[in-house]
């Protein structure tokens, strides 16, 4: 994510205004976070083809999901927390899309949408996205922070430092939890080194 020194405070103030019902705050916030959200989406969707619209579609869906959550009273405090929420939103969108895609494949005849390429790559890297999501939910049931770190790294493309800031823990704690989570997921993943 890009480092703009004025953003943390500015984004925090805009988040407060948005929660207070100021509709203009969202329009002012989008230019501040848009490129970082696109970077997160591009990280998820990188593949050998030119998929310029795919990150945009994911960003817009995630933005709507985040805005709905804030409108419903979700407490999003500051830049790091915002991007942690964005990571979760992107994960949910990709998992739901993968489930819908599998259902459509069983129904036959429907054409593939651009986001499918991203899901194919994620599945190639981590196995079935639905299985990965289920494993991540199981991990979260017993080890919440390591699961959250996986979500932020895999679906949000966040760095160790950014995660440490968002979770208010040390970088060494994040690194340890990241190593633990990767080992746990590798062991639990069916037919993937387990």
Q: Over the stretch 55-96, which tens digit does the pLDDT of each residue have?
A: 777 888 888 888 888 878 888 888 888 988 898 888 888 877
Per-residue confidence at 194, pLDDT binned at 50, 70, 90? very low
Q: Of 93, 113, 91, nearest to 101 (Cα)?
A: 113
Q: Over the stretch 23-47, which tens digit does the pLDDT of each residue have?
A: 788 888 888 888 888 888 877 766 4
pTM: 0.59
Sequence spans of domains, the chain: 7-188
* C-alpha span between 106 and 100 (Å, rounded): 10
CA 40, distance to chain mean position in Å, is 7
CB contact set of 88 (below 8 Å; sequence gap of 6+): 151, 155
Given this model, what pLDDT does residue 39 score? 84
């Amino acid at each position: 994510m890009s480092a703009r020194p004025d953003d943390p405070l500015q984004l925090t103030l805009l988040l407060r205004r948005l929660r207070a019902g100021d509709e203009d705050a969202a329009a002012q916030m989008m230019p501040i976070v848009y490129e970082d959200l696109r970077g997160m989406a591009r990280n998820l969707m990188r593949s050998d083809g030119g998929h310029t619209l795919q990150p945009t579609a994911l960003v817009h869906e995630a933005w709507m999901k985040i805005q709905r959550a804030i409108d419903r009273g979700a407490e999003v405090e500051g830049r790091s927390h915002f991007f942690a929420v964005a990571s979760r939103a992107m994960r949910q969108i990709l998992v739901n899309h993968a489930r819908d895609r599998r259902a459509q494949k069983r129904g036959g005849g429907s054409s593939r949408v651009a986001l499918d390429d991203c899901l194919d790559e994620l599945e190639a890297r981590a196995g079935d996205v639905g299985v990965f999501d289920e494993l991540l939910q199981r991990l979260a049931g017993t080890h919440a922070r390591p699961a959250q770190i996986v979500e932020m790294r895999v679906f949000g493309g966040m760095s160790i430092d950014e995660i440490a800031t968002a979770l208010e823990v040390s970088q060494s704690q994040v690194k340890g939890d990241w190593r633990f989570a990767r080992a746990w997921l590798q062991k639990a993943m069916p037919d993937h080194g387990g």
